[in-house]
Structure 1
Amino acid sequence: MININQGAPLATVKLDLDLGGKLPWFRCDDGYSTSSSYKPVKCTSPKCALASKPITCVSCNAAHPLKTWCHKNACSVRTSNPVSKFVGYGELITDLVTVKSNDGFRFLSVPAIPATIVAPSRYAFGCATSGDFSLHGLAKGVQGVAGLGRSSVLSLISQFSDGFRFPRIFALDFGSGDANGRIYFGGGPYVYAFPSYLDLKQEYLTYTPLLVNPKLSEEYFIDVISIKIHGETVPIVDKRLFSINKITGVGGTKIDFQAPYTILQTSIYKAVTKVYIKWAKSMNITMVPPVAPFGTCYKTSTLPDFVLEGDKVPPGVAFIFPKNELRTGEMTWTGGDVTCLAFIDGGLNPKTSIVIGVFNLNFFVEFDISGSRFGYVQPIFP
């Protein structure tokens, strides 16, 4: 999730991240919105045409009494929950948002140098009025969703890009341990101390092209052409699963922050687990009963202690692209003496063959919409 500073007086609003979201929104019915800078967008406004097709006007009646969250003839919009898939209704509004400008070095300073506060600017949001149903399934304390859709002109990244005149690029540091994650808008720099100062963008990011799905234009698809398990290519009988059908939009590989672990179409999942089970057997790793939602689990104490040797040893799992690869870990601890292969069976006929979840994205990723490419930091794995 991310925090944004919104409204007057300024209030922190927690939003869940939705890579395919067309519009940022938050729940504002029943007293949720107390901002004096909150303004409804008229259904006759050009902005309404961008948010709602067909254009529909809000009507306040006995069932919807006139309150701060119901404005007659405001632009009616739909608000989509990426977890529960619930689609609610509300109105399009604008409000002030304050952000921090950071050169990448400030948070590394001792003592830390505060980031520059940028003057508040007005941005469009959906005002969800469907009650608790709007937030069902989202993280505790979340008040809405930060839509980061690729093609929508009202997604948060598009609005920030237009408002601050920077490229449509955003990046996420997922954090680790007790460290908080960060989201960057505008393209960096992304400065870290390892132990000396370095900019991930200049020195460590590897890129692969973003693909366009004709039916899911907001989503972020990449071109995975094969998968390797400890150096062995997984045999996939139907290689068409790796491609996006140009008519139906079915197939291919996308990235999804709502998926904790990577989800594979059943035949791909079975092929991956078969190769992994063979490798684990050769390493004398003891298999144990699976722990849901995983299907292949092992006794943690029998796993080998790999020594990090960079490129001298093949990575555990690699998603292969036409010109490079994303190396990633394959096992996740589930408690006690059980560790599981971090892939989930997604069924025989999912819309998307491979959905890469947060666990397999390592610690840092960049979405360069302007350059139509996806950047990631290549880890060192045995």
Structure 2
Amino acid sequence: MISSHLFLICCLLFIASSTAQTRPKGIILPVTKDPSTLQYITELKQRTPLVPVKLAVDLGGQFLWVDCDKGYTTTSYIPSRCNSASCSLSKAGSCLTECYSPSRPGCTNNTCMLFPENQYAPIATSGTLGSDVLSVPSAFGGPPVTISKFLFVCGTTFLLENLSSGVTGMAGLGRTKVSLPSQFFAAFSFKKKFGVCLSSTSSKGAIFFGEFDSSTAPLTYTPLLTNPVSTAGVYTAGEASTEYFIGVKSININQKPVKLNATLLAINATDGYGGTKISSVDKYTTLEASIYNAVTNAFVKELNVPTVPSVKPFGACFSAKNIGTLYTGPDVPTIDLVLQSKDVYWRIYGGNSMVRVNNNVWCLGFVDGGVNSRTSIVIGGYQVEENLLEIDFAASKLGFSPLLYRKQICANYNFQAKS
């Protein structure tokens, strides 16, 4: 009987042994912000022959999924057969025993099934696990590197609803053994951490893997928490969330505490409600209704300028002529998400808190998530932009930088390798 430890090694070797070339120093996936949808888009190459594939970035997503119904042509696809090592690695809980269409990627008999999800719609459906060739850019001017058996899930065309033009899938970066980070870690023997730097402009930000030096943007660290109840659209009982949660204890505005229902800030161990997660799918930070009202009222009080009619989806808006400008963006009160102690906080400056909705109006870029929301605080993409994030799988911690407007924006950040 093979031991569980040996079985896991065999699973990882399935990925790692598929890479034949010299180990790169790092990998950088370019990320652009689509101007119409505000989605964060990356591109890699897949299949034989290789073709460019545009993907929406899902920071907490479980795996890479791609539409296999339309235009998926390759000679190197390998279905993951039921009860195989790759199915166990992915924790697939069901099996497609018979497909009633001609065999092709996404429709092969005796193939294990997972559930690709598009949170922008939001919709989820069943899909089949398989592997194919994947090519990604290496860092520091090196040649592209290839993984010959990269695991992914075949989705269907209707899953592309509400995604940016030309996007044919989603790149999941969450806490699973078949997400992009985990497969890159195994294939290239990288340390189990990766970085995210989203640009607020049309220029490219980056998601990077390997040993990079972040000393030019010193990081503050906070533990990553596990929500014991999955936040996916489809999941089985007892399955934990793959998204990245952190422990916000309180919120300060201009360093003054905001009165909140503190129980909403903790994750309920029974139903998984509450807590704080980081998302690349939510455009703006979303707050449970009572938290939103408390934060908005405190912000308006501290800013102390007249409000103007709100502009959806925002509630608190102000005349631009009443707000000055600093090097960190609009001159408005700072918002601190206080973490494990009063001395550890994620400070949100005007550059990340305020949205210019037109020439005359600034709005506080926070959205009302309604009562009884699934997650009490969702830190959205706009608030993540121009902050360097380091997600450390091994140590289960998040590193985050001060706002990079102080030095270089993400589009120009110099991701140097450690010597």
Counterpart-to-counterpart distance in 1, 2:285 and 2:321: 24
The counterpart of 1:89, out of the listed 122, 126, 129, is 126
Matched, 1:125 2:152: yes
The counterpart of 1:3, out of the listed 40, 43, 57, is 43
What is the CA distance between 1:215 and its match in structure 2? 0.8
TM-score (norm 1): 0.85
Mapped contact 1:49–1:55 kept (Cα < 8 A) = no
Query: Secondary structure at the residue paired with 1:116?
Result: coil
Q: Which sections of structure 1, spanning at least 5 residues, go unmatched?
A: 107-113, 190-199
Amino acid across the alignment from 1:23 = F
What is the CA distance between 1:369 and its match in structure 2? 1.4
What corresponds to 2:227 in structure 1?
213
Counterpart-to-counterpart distance in 1, 2:88 and 2:242: 18
Alignment of 1:177-196 (within 5 A): 177-189=201-213
Amino acid across the alignment from 1:123 = F
The counterpart of 1:115, out of the listed 106, 124, 142, is 142
The counterpart of 2:291, out of the listed 268, 273, 281, is 268
Counterpart-to-counterpart distance in 2, 1:58 and 1:27: 21
Query: Secondary structure at the residue paired with 2:286?
Result: strand
What corresponds to 1:277 in structure 2?
300
What is the CA distance between 1:221 and its match in structure 2? 0.6
Counterpart-to-counterpart distance in 1, 2:208 and 2:226: 23
Query: Secondary structure at the residue paired with 2:63?
Result: coil
Query: Secondary structure at the residue paired with 1:267?
Result: helix
Amino acid across the alignment from 2:340 = P
Q: Which sections of structure 2, spanning at least 5 residues, go unmatched?
A: 1-40, 231-240, 407-419
The 1:49/1:337 distance shift into structure 2, 3 A limit, reads: same
Mapped contact 1:224–1:320 kept (Cα < 8 A) = yes
Alignment of 1:358-377 (within 5 A): 358-363=381-386, 364-377=388-401
Matched, 1:134 2:164: no
Mapped contact 1:171–1:187 kept (Cα < 8 A) = no
Query: Secondary structure at the residue paired with 2:126?
Result: strand
Query: Secondary structure at the residue paired with 1:75?
Result: strand
Counterpart-to-counterpart distance in 1, 2:147 and 2:355: 42
Counterpart-to-counterpart distance in 1, 2:398 and 2:165: 30
What is the CA distance between 1:380 and its match in structure 2? 7.7
Query: Secondary structure at the residue paired with 2:164?
Result: coil
Mapped contact 1:229–1:316 kept (Cα < 8 A) = yes
Alignment of 1:1-382 (within 5 A): 1-30=41-70, 32-51=71-90, 53-61=92-100, 64-102=101-139, 106=140, 114-128=141-155, 130-131=156-157, 133-150=158-175, 152-189=176-213, 200-201=214-215, 203-216=217-230, 217-236=241-260, 238-281=261-304, 285-306=305-326, 316-323=334-341, 324-328=344-348, 329=350, 330-363=353-386, 364-379=388-403
The 1:5/1:286 distance shift into structure 2, 3 A limit, reads: same
Instruction: Give percent identity, aligned residues only.
Output: 36
What corresponds to 1:109 in structure 2?
none
Counterpart-to-counterpart distance in 1, 2:146 and 2:394: 25
TM-score (norm 2): 0.78
Counterpart-to-counterpart distance in 2, 1:145 and 1:290: 33
Deviations 1:222-281 (A, max 9, x none): 111111112221111x21111111222111111011111111111111111111121222
Deviations 1:29-65 (A, max 9, x none): 13x211111121212423223436433124222xx34
Query: Secondary structure at the residue paired with 2:167?
Result: coil
Query: Secondary structure at the residue paired with 1:213?
Result: coil
Counterpart-to-counterpart distance in 1, 2:159 and 2:403: 37
What is the CA distance between 1:294 and its match in structure 2? 0.4
Query: Secondary structure at the residue paired with 1:143?
Result: strand
The 1:60/1:268 distance shift into structure 2, 3 A limit, reads: same
The 1:201/1:137 distance shift into structure 2, 3 A limit, reads: farther
Counterpart-to-counterpart distance in 2, 1:380 and 1:45: 45
The 1:187/1:316 distance shift into structure 2, 3 A limit, reads: same
The 1:348/1:187 distance shift into structure 2, 3 A limit, reads: farther
Deviations 1:55-105 (A, max 9, x none): 3124222xx343454222222332111222311223211011122332xxx
What is the CA distance between 1:316 and its match in structure 2? 1.6
CA RMSD for the aligned pairs?
2.3
Amino acid across the alignment from 1:90 = G
What is the CA distance between 1:332 and its match in structure 2? 0.9
Amino acid across the alignment from 2:164 = A
What is the CA distance between 1:118 and its match in structure 2? 2.4
What is the CA distance between 1:358 and its match in structure 2? 1.3
What corresponds to 1:194 in structure 2?
none
